[in-house]
Amino acid sequence: MRTSSNQSGFSLIELMISLTLGLIVSAAVVQVMISNNSTERLNRSIASAQENGRFIIARLRNDLIMTGRYDMLRPELNKDVDIVVEAAFVQNNPIPIVGDFSNGLTKGAKEGADATSDTLMVMLQGTQDCRGASHGYNNEEFLVVNEYFLDGTSLKCRGFDGRVLRGLKAEVDDDTAYTLLDDVFSFQVQYGITDNIASQDNSARPVRFIDADSLGAEKAAGALVVAIRVAVLLKADSDVIISPVPQFKLLNEDSIQPSEARLYKQFETTITLRNSKNFARSRNI
């Protein structure tokens, strides 16, 4: 006995349409996945740059805010030297310049040539330098001199015993530099000065911001640094390609454009030196 059934499959045209639709949907899914991955990497890059920027600005602010501090009445202050002379030296020179130290003639705040990074140096009374070194003082306070500079793409700090730089004692600790942050493309500094002796303005507000090259002349004219403005340009820790890379202008420097097509982020802050401001006010009383 013969039975028959009418069965039909997909035609060639229907198969081709199905395959085409499948390819379109697959391509769309792949494109969405690629886009999501790129967005995720970009977000990670931005978050990394923001985190590093917040860290270095907070660290510099914490280090620099006490610049110019010197309290002769503190019982912790080591008194192996003439502290009256030392107090005058610190309070009148919170930002030392090249030539201020007899045993460190090349040490001081410096302006980088042709938009290269600057070198910042500050003085204060403390128990340790920016690296945490105590230079042989056992929980005693001494004249701390901290130097901040860019070495390649690493922002570093180096601490000194100011009494060694002034030629008053022998060196105890070394001056090995400590890395604060990597992937730093530029480090720029300006100094806010007050001229309250000439103007008789006892507010000790900064009247203008200048570069390190102008500090010597302004200090000789009676000006005092009462604020520090810092700008850094950081590269994000990722492989995200940004093209073209935008130009960045840090403080009063010429615009710069990094050669590497990566994500960069600029950060700036102005730090008021309250100890220097109080000293500036006292000079005008």
Q: Is residue 19 part of a domain?
A: no
pTM, whole model, 2 decimals?
0.84
Q: Is residue 131 part of a domain?
A: yes
* pLDDT score recorded for residue 281: 83
How many structural domains compose the chain? 1
Phi, psi of 122 (to 5 degrees): -130, 160
Q: pLDDT of 132-152, one tens digit each?
A: 999 999 999 999 999 999 999
Q: Is residue 11 part of a domain?
A: no
Q: Is residue 237 part of a domain?
A: yes
Q: Is residue 24 part of a domain?
A: no
Domain that holds residue 74: 44-283
Q: How confident is residue 259, by pLDDT bands cut at 50, 70 and 90? A: confident
